[in-house]
Amino acid sequence: MKKNVKITLEYDGARYKGWQKLGDSSNTIQGKLEDILEKMTGKRTPVTGSGRTDSGVHARGQVANFFIENDMSAYDILTYINSYLPSDIAVKSVDFVDERFHSRHNAKEKTYSYTIYNNRIHSVFDRKYSFHVPDPLNLEAMKQAMAEFEGTHDFLGFSSLGKSKKSTVRTINAITLEKNGPYLKFIFKGDGFLYNSIRIIMGTILEIGMGKRKTSTINRIFEKKIREDAGFTVPPHGLFLEEVDY
């Protein structure tokens, strides 16, 4: 009997080329999982993720699903996969779900975080998981900018897509900031995000915090949809996929 298996996993994306399998490359999260599932099931088993995290991006709550046709329990699947995964990838839970469940199409909201270490000297221990910004930042100006991104907009100008035949309209439900000493954790909640969108939005917010641009430029970019008018793309290592809600 065919079973639809839902997994929740976390990974350190530093040494991977992102989630999506690229040609023959197994140096992706999807590639690693599919190689293990082929050993487990005896045949190639496609894995669908809730989203395609980019090269160097991490995840604490990525969700994926795949179909199998054996009698293994959820516990046995969890144990088997984790016994073959490298130490920087771990499956946290395994559940059998309705055959119609699709990890990407059924997702209602995704939560990402981006962490900045705002201090003159970088953090030795968190340098792989936060972006070091030594410049003083105007947090009030950044909060005003964050509010401009909330709601439903065409985010083409804040993405690396170029032109797209598919809709580039997305809804950001909230952007919040948690400050803990020099650590600034920006939390993005939305129905989906375009290619590099969070990293470009974050770069734009940072430039406003540094006094290099004004908040009023945000609406002009929404209108003109020109990527070059937006801020720089922050590096991937500060970005985490935190959670996917269904």
**Would you say residue 54 lies in a domain?**
yes
> Where in the sequence is the domain holding 150, given as residue range(s)?
109-245
Count of other CB atoms within 10 angstroms of residue 233: 17
Determine the Cα–Cα distance for residues 108 and 151; give it in Å rounded to an integer: 15
Round to whole Å and give the CA distance between 230 and 157: 7
Cα(60)–Cα(8) distance, integer angstroms: 9
In the chain, how many domains are there?
A: 2
Q: Flag whether 179 is in a domain.
A: yes
CA nearest to 66, candidates 96, 25, 26: 96
Under DSSP, is residue 198 helix (H, G, I), strand (E, B) or coil?
helix
Are 150 and 38 contained in the same domain? Answer: no
169-180 and 183-190 beta bridge pairing: antiparallel
Spatial contact of 193 and 110, defined as CB atoms under 8 Å apart? yes
List 189's β-bridge partners, or say none: 111, 174
- Clarify whether residues 86 and 118 are in a common domain: no
Determine the pLDDT at residue 163: 76
Six-digit token string for 19: 């989630």
Q: To the nearest whole percent, how much of the chain has pLDDT over 70?
A: 99
Same domain, 89 and 115: no
Q: What is the pLDDT of residue 24?
A: 61
Cite the active site residues: 54
Query: Of 97, 128, 158, which residue sits at a domain end?
Result: 97
Tokens matching residue 187: 């939390």
Of 97, 119, 139, which residue constitutes the final position of a domain? 97
Contact 189, 109 (CB under 8 A): yes
In a domain, residue 104? The reply is no
pTM of the model: 0.95
CATH no. for residue 197? 3.30.70.660
- Residues 118, 90, single domain; the answer is no
Tell me: do 59 and 166 sit in the same domain: no
Q: Are residues 187 and 218 in the same domain?
A: yes
Is residue 102 a part of any domain in this protein?
no
Which tokens belong to 168?
A: 């580039």
Residues 125 and 230 placed together within one structural domain of the fold: yes
- Of 51, 76, 97, the one marking the end of a domain is 97
Residues of the chain with pLDDT under 50: none
Instruction: Clarify whether residues 9 and 129 are in a common domain.
Output: no
Stretch (H or E) spanning 63: strand 58-68
pLDDT in tens, 103-140: 999 999 999 999 999 999 999 999 999 999 999 999 99
Burial of residue 51 (number of CB atoms within 10 Å: 0-12, 13-18, 19+): buried
Same domain, residue pair 82 and 150: no
Distance (Å, rounded) from C-alpha 56 to C-alpha 7? 21
State the pLDDT at residue 162.
Answer: 78
Q: Give a three-class secondary structure readout of 141-164.
A: HHHHHHHHHCEEEECHHHCCCCCC
Question: Is residue 103 in a domain?
Answer: no
Q: Do 198 and 115 share a domain, yes or no?
A: yes
Answer yes or no: do 189 and 222 share one domain. Answer: yes
Any domain includes 50: yes
Same domain, 75 and 152: no
